[in-house]
Amino acid sequence: MADWEPLIDDYEESNGDDVKIDTHHRSVPCRLCWTIFGRVRLTLRYCGQCKRAFCEGEHGSFRNRGLCVRCYSDTSGQLA
């Protein structure tokens, strides 16, 4: 397997996107693009709170730390 080979699969709590990216060196699909729109947009970014992958700009940001729009809305816009 080549370095940073993509991994297209469903999200697993026991083997989160953070592990797939950091340990296994695989790009994974943005979980919001995959779940809501059924499209594959590969990324190496993941949320610091829920550990799910997100595409930066549309579904998350790295201003202070990685945070996806799902977790941002759960915190009522208050970054930890």
User: Alpha-carbon distance 25 to 32, whole Å?
Assistant: 21
The predicted structure's pLDDT at residue 80: 47
pLDDT at 7: 60
Out of 4-8, 19-23, 73-77, pick the least confident: 4-8
12-36 tens-digit pLDDT: 777 888 998 888 888 889 988 988 8
Q: How far is the C-alpha of 62 from the C-alpha of 9, rounded, in Å?
A: 24
- Model confidence at 79: pLDDT above 70: no
- Kindly compute the dihedral angle of the four CA atoms of residues 68, 28, 35, 50, in this order, to the nearest 10 degrees: -40
